[in-house]
Structure 1
């Protein structure tokens, strides 16, 4: 773990250069400061507080880095830093100080690094706020001075009186009236000067503090990578090493693959079962429609049979009547006999068609039974 001394040196050199420039420009800076001492004093106060906070953040990295170096060197823990950025890592290393072979899991290492990173980011939030506050105060002083300038110009124009021919008096009056607008412009530009300059100085100091924190974080990450046990189940020493053997890991991977294939097969089986259920429902609807059509045809055939049955007694009575009329009506009797034969043949034909229809219906029922039985076998 590297000490943050180099960063402190860079910050000191930069602040010394800024102070040197301020000494060289002491008179104009003093005049600019006195143009608006309230706003400029607030800006300088925020700048000084921001620099102190950044220096404190860099200095606080020293005890943490020294503690890590001492821990790596001898594993004999000195007094840990009370309010450092290591946080839970200090507590954990203190509890495991007697282990001869300290090991972390990758998950534990990442969690510890994330904890340190969050602490470092939180410590820099206040500095970023101070940089924004410096810019805001500079802009606020600028607008304040511009408002004073506009107000003073309005008063000068309103109070100016041009009477007589004394141009010298008018010019003196105008010059006296412009002192207030010029004072307002001084307020505006001086606030902008100090605000933006302070933001620039504090931004450089914050940049150096960020570099120091990044170096600290990178060193900590490199050290944790040397004590990370990949494949380990947690934190432990030589007695608590829980590395999984290669053959067990291979068995676990094979089991996971088998479970994955089984899950996909079950999903496909479920989809096929749903498709079969839909097919059975469609087939059931078709069979119901066929049965309805068959019942309609049976009703039509029965009506035809009843009609032919009712016609036979009439024909019989007509034949008897013709027989009584004598032999001269033999030709008519022959015609009636032929009509009776044709009627009988028609009845026979309808009976044959009814038998064929019953056979077709039985064939359809047998086909439906075989289809349902085959579908149940596929589901099993």
Structure 2
């Protein structure tokens, strides 16, 4: 619907300018020149708006295929229209950046009115100078009427160019408003896509995740220190228990070996005594 209104506005403005210019063909070169300049400015403005709308449409299409992974983001950005790549990149990174708007069209809208006024002033000058010459050249009423015919024709230059300039300015302004409205809708769609599908790819989100990870690690440090302290105390306790166990086992070993040696010594002594008694 917006595209239809855009084309209708262009056609209406062009029709008015062409109608005014056709009336000046073969009759008023100055008026035809001014009208031709108005037509050129009008066409240049619509050419810029056409490119602006094309960029808007391409951006809307790319938003439907937004990437899911960080590795795909660079290729997706490269596929965007060049005029909006920087702004979209900034928005993904969490910084506000307005999408570019038409640069020359706002100036051209005012320029068309100024050109129409220029034609008006030129026509008024032609009319007044011709009327003054006609009044000064003769005192006969019929001669004055004949002499005023040419100056009065200058009024067509005055009002014709004004109509062309104002009509072109109005239609170009309407087309610019429709184009900027369409860009605003796509900008809102971009914001929704950033919040819903591209938020996890933004540098701001990555920084938040890194900060949360650091906070989690910082919160875990006291617990780790407490666990290490508990483990150290447990190891000291186990070391003491092991030392006591080794000391006790060593004492038991020495006691057992001593008793065995004592038994062996007693047995040897008894054997020697028996052997001595037997020999005597």
- Does the alignment pair 1:48 with 2:43? yes
Question: Which residue number corresponds to residue 154 of structure 2?
Answer: 184
Tell me by how many angstroms 1:140 deviates: 0.9
Question: In the superposition, relative to structure 1, how do residues 62 and 233 fare at CA in structure 2: closer, same or farther (>3 Å)?
Answer: closer
C-alpha separation between the residues in 1 aligned to 2:189 and 2:66?
Answer: 14
By how many angstroms is 1:57 displaced? 0.3
Alignment of 1:1-380 (within 5 A): 6-17=1-12, 22=16, 26=19, 30-31=22-23, 35=28, 36-72=31-67, 77=75, 80-81=79-80, 83-87=82-86, 89-90=88-89, 108-109=93-94, 111=95, 113-114=96-97, 117=98, 119-121=99-101, 124-161=102-139, 170-226=140-196, 227-228=198-199, 234-236=204-206, 241-243=210-212
Alignment correspondent of 1:336: none
Q: How many Å separate the matches in 1 of 2:164 and 2:81?
A: 37
**Structure 1 runs not aligned, ≥5 long:** 1-5, 94-103, 162-169, 250-380
Q: What is the rounded CA distance, in whole Å, between the counterparts of 2:35 and 2:7 in structure 1?
A: 23
CA displacement, residues 251-302 of structure 1 (integer Å, 9 cap, x when unaligned)? xxxxxxxxxxxxxxxxxxxxxxxxxxxxxxxxxxxxxxxxxxxxxxxxxxxx
The 3 A distance-change label for structure 1 pair 59 and 171 is same
Q: For the Cα contact (< 8 Å) 2:6–2:178, is it kept in 1?
A: yes
Structure 1 pair 127/88, CA: closer, same or farther in 2 (3 Å)? closer
Q: Deviations over 1:8-55 (max 9, x none)?
A: 232123334556x659x95x7622575410111101111111111111
Q: 1:181 offset after TM fit, Å?
A: 1.7
Residues 173/233 of structure 1: CA separation in 2 closer, same or farther (3 Å cut) = closer
CA distance in structure 2 between the aligned counterparts of 1:218 and 1:88, rounded to whole angstroms: 13
How far is 1:233 from its partner?
Answer: 8.2
Equivalent-residue separation in structure 1 for 2:119 and 2:11 (angstroms): 27
Change (3 A) 1:22 1:178: same
Instruction: Measure, in 1, the Cα distance between the counterparts of 2:167 and 2:203.
Output: 54
Tell which has more relative contact order, 1 or 2 (C-alpha 8 A, sep 6+): 2
Structure 1 counterpart of 2:258: none
CA shift at 1:138, angstroms? 0.6
Q: Aligned with 1:243: secondary structure?
A: helix
1:120, 1:213 within 8 Å by CA — same for their partners in 2? no
Alignment gaps of 5+ in structure 2: 220-280
| Secondary structure of residue in 2 paired with 1:71 | coil
Change over 3 Å in CA distance of 1:60–1:233 after alignment to 2: closer
Evaluate the alpha carbon distance shift between residue 206 and residue 192 of structure 1 in structure 2; reply closer, same or farther with a 3 A threshold: same
